[in-house]
């Protein structure tokens, strides 16, 4: 283990789905699936690849309801490349005796490899070595190379190299009853002696997808030209050819594939581009070279290097898992995707779960990206900006002003949250109120503000960010009702991040009142909207006011709300998760753990018992604790004080302890937040939670959900715990703040940060931190380490003793 | 005439094409045609609208050669709205007696209006008032409103409101023999009682285009609900309804149209979006209000205000023509188009000439845009960047390194220059060598550099600009051959901007050697590439070198070429347009003027006589003078000195006089350059040329070419003469330079400029200039006025006596 290679020795059929999701290789809008599924059957039969989750919708039926629009669709499978010896059966891993098996995902170079030695029923022993890449800087290219070496035999081998447009969506078992066929075949044929070609169209969104493949053959490294047979079927094209194999002489088949959709830029027609661009493309070796260079540049920018003092290679494991997380993040979004109209799907492009919808997970993902390559977050925020008209329409329909972004955002930005869901434990379909999580709107505003703080990109703020902040502030202003008696504003009938509470046990209508997270964040949004408003250039402000019809009394109203939002408390300083939380029953954690073992899905357990989580003091994920995750104590104190509430710093550990004890961690995001908020007060406890969070996907701790798609929020969140929590990094008041506190386990931490045009190398140990701003044309920046303010200019190195 | 309204009184059928082109109303990728064509037949029968010229290609045949790809395609016509009285013929302007006619293009609000009073053969007198807009901030919306008032009659009137997808490309008479049908009808139907819908697909590029129209009816301003009849034909849908008209009571029909293509962002499927978004849209009045606000903001940013001392309202005319030019520029590119993969077609989106291809005209357009809204040029430069792979492939095919951008760039960036053209004077098809104008590559590099100078956007430079500069520098380095004897580099076999010279009269192969403009600009590109290279942050430079495989000896080679490029001279200080120019014959200008009158197309005249311009000292446009247009004397001196040539400033007027006398102004761009380079030495002459250039389109000085599409380079160029030439504005060395010299005719000049994050108001008279930087967060900038350096900070006003 070198910290850069995720490897599996031995073939384990039961681990296919997990390995498949973890070894996904893709980039931008084009992610391939399938390492372990490949292992399943030699080189064939992968479910396929995905087109960007965000612009086509699933055509699914659910409990009788047809969801008409496609959000995530498998694209034609470019991987099929298989063989059979002496006219036997096509290669099948389960029908041979496996002598050796090793699968490796090389994170550094972005290459998936597999080496299998096997003996077939006829006693023939062979080695099969396979490498695959999806090019990270040439978003239309992918390639694979497969080498078969006969070890104790000679004879004829027939190969088949295909493109398969007949794939369906079937990656999530519980969705399989729903409509899964989304591709209409348009063309499938041989182009010439080397090339085959497939073109399909998604049947609802009418996106055309074209692939062309060029297959070349080498004996002992020398190119040979076998005669090909073309197979042309509806939605499927292949080349077949037969080679004479000699004992000990490797036969290599190289397949290079181009991929275009009708939404790509700089094309005439996607089919023509797929076929023609293949002419200019080099072989596997050349592609691997440029691909590896591009990955090395990405790692320069995105790597997170930790040295830990841990037994049993745990340190190397943790370092590698962090890299796996960065790797998968970059498979989903990168500079390639900034050209496209795509968001960040909660499960990446790695599986079909959540159907490619866009959730609030951005809140956990963007802060990491902001500080590494803010161009990516800028593009992702514009993805939201483009859907502002739909969010405005949704607000209007709900009788509100401003913009109401949906909980689950589909292709054109409309609400796609399911209205019912199945409890597999009880077999019952239940109403799903999760779209009442209006707090997604604060996540978007928070991200706009964070991006702006990190970059100082006031052009973005003036043209896009301000409009989003204003419309979101308006929405909250509309939702907040003035309670004359209390002289406070209240928000009623919403859900917080804790999805185990969707209402009061004794109330008909769903939703909760005065959810602390929602109320405080709404007040914070108002405050930031005011700050932004007064800092805009006058002329731009005037234009915005005219365009959006912002009135003076509206601004005054925001001011009022941002100083009078209600927060409920109970038990002497506990921030009530929502009004009335303190009156709920305590939950019998021990009893249920004894009874059920794994109780992270308490919602399902209780519903199956005829009970409901709404009666108890329990959370799916840390709801109130989100506040300590998003804000430093200083910032939170400012917010409480502005609202006229005292803020004794002692309430922080008190609340953390209170809610930690009542959290089921039913979401992968929950442990991130708990690890974060405990990092200073309970360092060992925090480290344990962090290590658990690291395992979310690599160990599939939710028992099977990783195979349906990795958890991108948790992946980015763990990296961000290291990047921002351990360094105490904040960006506010035009200053880069550090308040470092490394866990005892960490000896050294190396990062590279982007801040206001500076590219900063950070090297931190428990005793000192070293900051180097690489030479550039950026102006000086303010850096505050603990209580000392520094100025940093490009080319300068600062060493600060801690 | 208020300087904001282009108006025509009286109906002149012969002027249709011109008026149509000048009154085009569109935005972004969606431009409508048709003011005067509309006048032709009431409210019906317009050729249609355009989809962005840059992503679909014309299917044309030319001299037997089929050009397969579409670059510019008419989109379905949304305008059809007509009527007939008492079951008579559908309204036809040529079949009625016109009592009054007035057509107005309101530049300030972007509204096209027409008022017609007419008497039909039955003696019925009526007034028809029509308003139309294509929304400038809601790029999917357009609307029209038509009001018919019976003056001396009552009776029944039948209306028809349609969407017509059966349009063809037929706007350029000489292209009409070529394939003009590009749309395949997909759907055409009534949606409900108010809405109709049409969807088509371009037949080569497979772009789907959907439109939906909502028609509402008002009697005396009050909404009425007539019964509709749906007309549904292939590619055509309409609503028809009959109303009772009462003498003196206005009947108003309002038509609001949504427009989506399959390439749009934030959509599910273009047809669904077109139909559904129409639900959220207000009426004509509401749209006009938001549209006018958006235009007012555009004018805040883009207006150019001149006060001139001229007789006969010439001053107001000149001021208005400048605004017409800005207006049409903004019809073609604006913030709306930055979301799309579009370039700037040479003829805008206003006509079919040049088929939407992208030329070097950017060189005249971007400098104006850089200083007003650089986000637009950034997006347009990225349009080129996306086509870098195609330019690289073209260079490789030509046996070169680097990138060779094509002379006429089609949808995917490939060369689309015609290989033959017709001389209508001789009827002969002739070989067309214009693709030898490799200098388009210097235009792109120049624009990258100018954008960078104006904005200081080093992120753009690092990620996109540097790669383009390096690849273009490489291309020139490959084209430049070292002449050992002279110790100079030479570029052979190319064409300069002067298209009348495409070779030597006595040489078989086309192309010229050592074209001064090309050679000097190539040297300048090397120089800038080196400057850029050494100013990049080290890490970014290392990455680029690794990605692009830039070697040290390559950099040294650029250094060498940039100091040893050859320039030829003749006649004691005249820069030879190309090697051997001095040996050509003098042309008999007077004789030909006498014989032919208009001699601006000398190429056609001479070819028809069996002669060729290649034999003479004559130019289509000022080739050498381009140097004085692009560079100040100081900058040019630096370039010549670096090359080891003396540069006596006296050669400037000498060369200007020499080449001015030998230029036919066969291109609209030529007068811009001549007006510019003469502005200091020959102020009256320069003003005359400027006034002629202003008339290029409004008076259609090339006799008919405006109807085929306005000349966007000339439009932007005239505005830029005022903006940069008269103010002596330069952006170099991180400094904003002014060296003002207003023409005697100008009393005052008002502009707004964007420079390095500053928004600067400029007010200039012959005696003083006032600069105000509006409040913003930008850092201080250096401003040099003549020989004095100033510093300007946001919020500050500087008044400088001249």
pLDDT tens column, B498-546: 999 999 999 999 999 999 999 999 999 999 999 999 988 888 899 999 9
Q: Is the pLDDT of residue A15 over 80?
A: no
Q: Is the pLDDT of residue A627 over 90?
A: yes
Least confident range of A566-570, B699-703, B754-758: B699-703
What is the distance between the alpha carbons of residues A499 and A623, in angstroms, rounded to a whole number?
9
Which chain B positions have a beta carbon within 8 Å of A206's beta carbon? Answer: 208, 262, 269-270
Q: How far apart are CA A423 and CA A429, in angstroms?
A: 6
| Helix or strand run (H / E) with residue A472 | helix A466-479
Query: Given this model, what pLDDT does residue A43 score?
Result: 25
Of residues A63 and B371, more confidence is placed in: B371
Q: Which of A413-427, A687-701, A742-756 has the lowest mean pLDDT?
A: A413-427
Matching residue, tokens 């607000």: A395
Question: CB pairs below 8 Å between A and B: how many?
Answer: 137
When pLDDT is averaged across residues A633-645 and rounded to a whole number, the result is 96
Does residue B333 register a pLDDT over 60? yes
* A396 contacts in chain B (CB < 8 Å): 280
Asked if A137's CB is within 8 angstroms of B547's CB, the reply is yes
Q: State yes or no: pLDDT of A201 exceeds 70.
A: yes
The mean pLDDT of A784-788, rounded to a whole number, is 96
Q: Please report the pLDDT score of residue A24 as a whole number.
A: 61
- Give the gap in angstroms from C-alpha B363 to the nearest C-alpha of chain A: 21
| Mean pLDDT score of chain A | 89
pLDDT > 70: what percent of chain A?
93
Please list every residue in chain A whose beta carbon sits closer than 8 Å to the beta carbon of residue B339. 386
Whether A290 has a pLDDT exceeding 70, the answer reads yes
Q: Measuring CA to CA, which residue among A334, A368, A386 is closest to residue A31?
A: A334
The C-alpha of A55 sits at a distance from chain B's nearest C-alpha, in angstroms, of 6
Q: What is the pLDDT of residue A648?
A: 94
* ipTM surpasses 0.95: no
Minimal C-alpha gap between B403 and chain A (Å): 14
Task: Name the residue among B266, B413, B543 with its Cβ closest to that of A387.
Answer: B266
Smallest Cβ distance to A206: which of B69, B208, B396? Answer: B208
- Nearest CA among A509, A354, A361 for reference residue A417: A354
Mean pLDDT (whole number) for A492-496? 98
Question: Look-up: residue for tokens 């029923």?
Answer: A121
Query: Looking at chain B, which residue has its C-alpha nearest residue A72?
Result: B268
Q: What is the DSSP string of B711-750?
A: -HHHHHHHHHIIIIITTT-EEETTEEEE-----TTEEEEE
> Tell me, what's the pLDDT at B348?
83
Query: What pLDDT, on a 0 to 100 scale, did the predictor assign at position A176?
Result: 72
Residue B57's pLDDT band (boundaries 50, 70, 90)?
Answer: very low
Q: Which of A104, A499, A695, A730 is catalytic?
A: A499
For the record, the structure tokens of B469 come out as 């500069």
Q: How far apart are CA B17 and CA B31, in angstroms?
A: 16
- Indicate yes or no: CB of A774 within 8 angstroms of CB of B537: yes
Mean pLDDT value across residues A323-347: 87
Give the distance, in angstroms, between the CA of residue A243 and the centroid of all CA atoms in the same chain: 44
- Mean pLDDT, residues B289-299 taken together: 95
* Mean pLDDT on A655-672: 93
Q: What are the C-alpha distances in Å from B407 to residues A267, B433, B624?
A: 18, 10, 19
Confidence band of A69 (pLDDT split at 50, 70, 90) = low
The Cα of B20 is separated from the nearest Cα of chain A by a number of Å equal to: 29
- Among the partner residues A463, A537, A774, nearest to B775 by beta-carbon distance: A537
Contact between chains at A268 and B57 (C-beta distance less than 8 A): yes
- List of chain B residues whose C-beta atoms are within 8 Å of the C-beta of residue A267: 55, 411-412
Report CB contact under 8 Å: A412, B266: yes
- Catalytic positions of B are 499
Top residue of A67, A69, A201, A266 to mutate, by most chain B CBs within 10 Å, is A266
- Residue B25 pLDDT more than 70? no
Helices in B333-387 by DSSP H: which ranges? 362-370, 374-386
Chain A contact set for B57 (CB, 8 A): 268
CB within 8 Å of B390: residues ≥ 6 apart: A266, B412, B413, B414
In this predicted structure, the answer to whether residue A399 has a pLDDT above a threshold of 70 is yes
| pLDDT tens digit sequence for A441-487 | 999 999 999 999 999 998 899 889 999 999 999 999 999 999 999 99
Across the range B414-440, mean pLDDT stands at 88
What digits encode the pLDDT tens for the residues B734-789? 999 999 999 999 999 999 999 999 999 999 999 999 999 998 888 899 999 999 99
Q: Confidence band (pLDDT; 50, 70, 90) for A39? A: very low
Are B206 and A208 an interchain contact pair (Cβ–Cβ within 8 Å)? yes
Average pLDDT over residues A549-567: 97
Helices B388-397 and B374-386, axial angle in degrees (round to 10): 40
Does A206 sit within 8 Å of B270, measured CB to CB?
yes
Contact check, Cβ <8 Å, B341/A280: no
Chain A residues touching B263 at Cβ < 8 A:
262-263
Q: Do A263 and B263 touch (CB under 8 A)?
A: yes
Q: What is the pLDDT of residue B796?
A: 97
Worst-scoring range by mean pLDDT, B35-39, B244-248, B275-279, B754-758? Answer: B35-39
By C-alpha distance, which of A480, A471, A472 is closest to A557?
Answer: A480
Query: How confident is residue A26, by pLDDT bands cut at 50, 70 and 90?
Result: very low
Q: Would you state the pLDDT for residue B205?
A: 85
A interface test, pick of B262, B295, B537, B754 with most A CB neighbours within 10 Å: B537
Q: Judge whether residue B217 has pLDDT over 70.
A: yes
Quick one: average pLDDT of B194-198? 97
Residues 6 or more apart whose CB falls under 8 angstroms from that of B192 comprise: none
pLDDT digit string, tens, across residues B87-119: 999 998 888 999 999 988 999 999 989 899 999
**B49 vs B36: CA distance, rounded Å:** 14
**DSSP-derived 3-state class of residue A645:** coil
**CA gap B561, B564 in Å, rounded:** 5
Which of A136, A60, A134 shows the shortest CA–CA distance to A352?
A60
What is the structure's pLDDT at A16?
67
> The dihedral of CA A312, A314, A315, A319: what is its sign?
positive
Q: Using one digit for the tens of pLDDT, what is the confidence trace for B136-159?
A: 888 889 899 999 999 999 999 999
Query: pLDDT-based confidence at B798, cuts 50/70/90?
Result: very high
Interval B160-174: pLDDT, tens: 999 999 988 777 777
pLDDT bucket at B356, cuts 50 / 70 / 90: confident
- How high is the pLDDT of residue B24? 61
Above 60 in pLDDT, residue B355? Answer: yes
Q: Find the closest chain B residue to A341 by CA distance.
A: B265
- For residue A35, the model assigns a pLDDT of 23
Indicate yes or no: CB of A411 within 8 angstroms of CB of B267.
yes
Q: Do residue A273 and residue B412 have CB atoms under 8 angstroms apart?
A: yes
What gap in Å lies between CA B92 and CA B42, rounded to an integer? 5
Cα–Cα distance list, A33 to A70, A168, A331 (Å):
19, 13, 11
pTM of the model: 0.93
Nearest CA in chain A to B757: A459
Smallest Cβ–Cβ distance between B539 and the set A300, A335, A387 belongs to: A300
| pLDDT tier for residue B795 given thresholds of 50, 70 and 90 | very high
Q: Phi first, then psi: give them for residue B422, nearest 5 degrees.
A: -95, 130
Least confident residue range of A168-177, A235-244, B111-120, B243-252: A168-177
Of B207, B268, B280, the CB nearest to A412: B268
pLDDT at A25: 56
Q: Hey, of B182, B269, B358, B410, which one would you mutate to test binding to chain A, going by the most A CBs within 10 A of its CB?
A: B269
Highest-pLDDT range among A457-461, A647-651, B64-68, B705-709: A647-651
- pLDDT interval class at B373 (50, 70, 90): very high
B295 and B287 Cβ atoms separated by less than 8 Å: no
- Asked whether residue A420 carries a pLDDT value surpassing 50, the answer given is yes
In this predicted structure, the answer to whether residue B585 has a pLDDT above a threshold of 60 is: yes
Q: Reply yes or no on whether the pLDDT at A692 is more than 70.
A: yes
User: CA-CA-CA-CA torsion for B723, B729, B732, B734, nearest 10 degrees?
Assistant: -90
Q: What residues of A are in contact with residue B286 (Cβ under 8 Å)?
A: none
pLDDT of residue B68: 44
In B515-565, which residue ranges form alpha helices assigned H by DSSP? 516-535, 538-548, 552-564
Mean pLDDT throughout B410-421? 85
pLDDT, one tens digit per residue, over A108-143 is 999 989 899 999 999 999 999 999 888 888 888 989
Give chain B's mean pLDDT.
Answer: 89
């Amino acid at each position: 283990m070198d910290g850069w290679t995720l490897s599996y020795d031995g073939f384990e059929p039961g681990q296919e789905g997990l390995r498949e999701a973890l070894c996904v290789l893709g980039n931008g809008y084009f992610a391939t699936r399938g390492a372990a599924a490949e292992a399943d059957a030699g080189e064939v039969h992968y479910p396929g690849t995905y087109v960007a989750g965000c612009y086509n919708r699933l055509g699914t039926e659910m409990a009788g309801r047809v969801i008409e629009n496609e959000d995530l669709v498998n694209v034609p499978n470019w991987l099929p490349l298989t063989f059979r010896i002496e006219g036997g059966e096509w290669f099948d891993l389960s029908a041979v005796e496996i002598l050796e098996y090793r699968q490796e995902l090389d994170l550094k170079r972005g290459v998936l490899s597999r080496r299998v030695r096997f003996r077939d029923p006829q006693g023939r022993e062979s080695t099969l070595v396979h490498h695959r890449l999806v090019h990270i800087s040439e978003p239309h290219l992918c390639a694979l190379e497969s080498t078969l070496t006969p070890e104790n035999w000679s004879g004829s081998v027939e190969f088949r190299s295909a493109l398969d447009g007949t794939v369906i969506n079937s990656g999530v078992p519980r969705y399989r009853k729903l409509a899964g066929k989304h591709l209409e075949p348009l063309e499938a044929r041989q182009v010439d002696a080397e090339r085959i070609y497939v073109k399909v169209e998604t049947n609802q969104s009418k996106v055309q997808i074209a692939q062309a493949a060029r297959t070349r053959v080498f004996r002992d490294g020398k190119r040979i030209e076998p005669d090909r047979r073309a197979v042309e079927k509806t939605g499927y094209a292949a080349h077949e050819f037969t080679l004479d194999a000699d004992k000990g002489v490797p036969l290599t088949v190289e397949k290079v594939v181009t991929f275009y959709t009708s939404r790509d830029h700089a094309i005439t027609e996607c089919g023509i581009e797929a076929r023609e661009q293949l002419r200019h493309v080099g072989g596997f070796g050349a592609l691997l070279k440029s691909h590896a260079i591009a990955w090395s540049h990405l790692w320069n920018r995105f790597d997170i290097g930790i040295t830990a003092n841990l037994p049993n290679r745990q340190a190397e494991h943790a370092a590698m898992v962090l890299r796996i997380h960065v790797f998968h993040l970059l498979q989903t979004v990168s500079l390639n995707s900034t050209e496209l109209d795509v968001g960040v799907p909660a499960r990446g492009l790695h599986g079909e779960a959540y159907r490619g919808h866009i959730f609030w997970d951005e809140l956990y993902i963007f802060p990491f990206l902001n500080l590494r390559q803010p161009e990516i977050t800028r593009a992702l925020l514009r993805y939201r900006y483009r859907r502002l008209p739909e969010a405005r329409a949704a607000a209007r329909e709900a009788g509100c002003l401003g913009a109401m972004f949906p909980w689950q955002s589909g292709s054109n930005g409309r609400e796609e949250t399911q209205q019912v869901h199945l409890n597999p434990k009880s077999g019952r379909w239940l109403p799903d109120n999760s779209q009442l999580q209006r707090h997604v709107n604060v996540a978007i505003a928070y991200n706009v503000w964070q991006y702006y703080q990190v970059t100082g990109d006031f052009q973005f703020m003036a043209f896009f960010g301000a409009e989003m902040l204003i419309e979101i502030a308006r929405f909250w202003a509309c939702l907040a009702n003035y309670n004359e008696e209390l002289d406070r504003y209240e928000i009623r009938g919403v859900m917080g991040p804790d999805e185990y509470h969707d209402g009061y046990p004794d109330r008909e209508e769903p939703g909760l009142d005065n959810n602390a997270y929602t109320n405080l964040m709404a007040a914070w949004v108002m405050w930031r909207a005011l700050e932004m408003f007064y800092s805009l250039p006058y002329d731009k402000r005037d234009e915005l006011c005219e365009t959006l019809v912002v009135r003076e009394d509206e601004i005054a109203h925001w001011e009022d709300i941002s100083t009078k939002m209600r927060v409920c408390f109970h038990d002497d300083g506990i921030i009530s998760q929502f009004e009335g939380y303190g009156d709920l029953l305590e939950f019998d954690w021990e009893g249920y753990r004894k009874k059920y073992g794994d109780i992270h899905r308490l919602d399902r357990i209780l519903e199956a018992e005829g009970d409901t989580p709404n009666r108890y003091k329990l959370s799916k994920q840390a709801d109130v604790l989100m506040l300590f995750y998003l804000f430093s104590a200083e910032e939170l104190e400012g917010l409480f004080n502005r609202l006229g509430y005292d803020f004794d710093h002692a309430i922080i550990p008190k609340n953390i302890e209170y809610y930690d004890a009542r959290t089921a961690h039913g979401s992968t995001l929950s442990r991130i937040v708990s690890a974060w908020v405990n990092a200073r007060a309970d360092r060992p406890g925090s480290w344990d939670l962090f290590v658990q969070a690291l395992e979310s996907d690599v160990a599939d701790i939710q028992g099977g959900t990783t195979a349906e798609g990795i958890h991108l929020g948790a992946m980015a969140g763990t990296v961000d715990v290291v990047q921002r929590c351990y360094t105490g990094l904040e960006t506010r008041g035009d200053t880069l703040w550090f308040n470092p506190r490394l866990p005892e386990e960490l000896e050294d931490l190396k990062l590279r940060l982007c801040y206001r045009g500076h590219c900063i190398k950070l090297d931190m140990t428990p005793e000192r931190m070293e900051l180097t701003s690489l030479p550039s044309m950026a102006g000086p920046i303010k850096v505050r380490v603990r209580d000392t303010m520094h100025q940093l200019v490009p080319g300068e190195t600062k060493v600060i003793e801690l």
